[in-house]
Amino acid sequence: MQLDDVHISKKPRIRRRRCCCCLDSILGKVLCGAGSCACCALSVLIFCVAYYFLVMDKPVEDVWVTWPTAPPMTPRPSFVPAPPSPAYPPALPDAVPQAPPPPPSSPLPAPPLPPHVPCGEPSTDNSTVTILLHVTGFKNAAGVAKMWVHLDSSSWYQGDDAWRIETMPIPSTNELFRYVRGVPSGREVAVFFVHDKNNDGRLNTIPFIGYPREGVAASGGARGGPSGGPRFRDAVQTLEEGVGCVSWELEIWNP
């Protein structure tokens, strides 16, 4: 084998092109060794730094649209406030003497009724009877009370023909007690009372009608009406012998 026939192949040496704009520095060597331009890489770096400071470093509200916020809610009270306490007048100081409270007012007691002997006791005199009259229902104490005691119907409403006639004042209690003594026993008796307000001694009535204008009362519970006062047959009572005393209740009828 001849030497001329032997061809020794060598690996071609590729010369890298040096960046024309890179400095002869370590950064330039690194970038140029990687095949990049240092100027381009520096421009990218400057852009990133500028973007960071100009965009990323700003607050969020300067970059993004801020949505409107709802108004703050007023908290509701957890309880209903109590009403204000009433204002009371200031109390008197202890140094001021205070009078004791007045005693409770009570109505004045009614005057005592005149004493009377209870009826129903046996009588030593069988010829007479005592009648105890209790008359109630007077409207007031004005005027007087006039009483007629009749032993027959002929003297009824005849005034002076009655067996006994008496005039008496009316107590402030609007009731009165009256004894009629010596009434013959075994007889029919009728008692008639008039509240004589004008003290004229008679019963005032409406002319032509006879309707009473004044209060009247009669024994036996007899009462008046539109046609006139009580009648004798309704007021008559028979007194038995030996009873001694009887008690009758009469109530004034006021028209």
Domain residue ranges in the chain: 26-62, 128-251
Highest mean pLDDT among 32-41, 135-144, 227-236: 135-144
Average pLDDT over the chain, rounded to an integer: 74
Q: How is residue 160 written in tokens? A: 């002076």
- Region 67-79: mean pLDDT is 69
CA triple 54-55-61, angle to 5 deg:
120
**pLDDT value at residue 30:** 55
* 232 or 18, greater pLDDT: 232
User: What is 186-251 written as a DSSP string?
Assistant: TSEEEEEEEEESS--SS--B-TTT--BSS-EEEGGG---BTTBS--HHHH-EEPPTT--EEEEEEE
CB-side neighbour CA atoms (13 Å) of 23:
5
* 104 or 62, greater pLDDT: 104
Helices (DSSP H) in the chain: which residue ranges? 26-33, 38-51, 60-63, 232-235
pLDDT at 19 over 50: no
- Region 190-216: mean pLDDT is 86
- In this prediction the pTM is 0.52
- Residue 77: which pLDDT band, with cuts at 50, 70 and 90? low
Q: How is residue 24 written in tokens? A: 């002869």
Q: Specify which residues 46 forms β-bridges with.
A: none
Q: Which residue has the tokens 């703050």?
A: 72
**pLDDT value at residue 149:** 94
CATH of 128-251, one of 3.10.450, 1.20.1260, 3.30.70, 2.60.40: 2.60.40
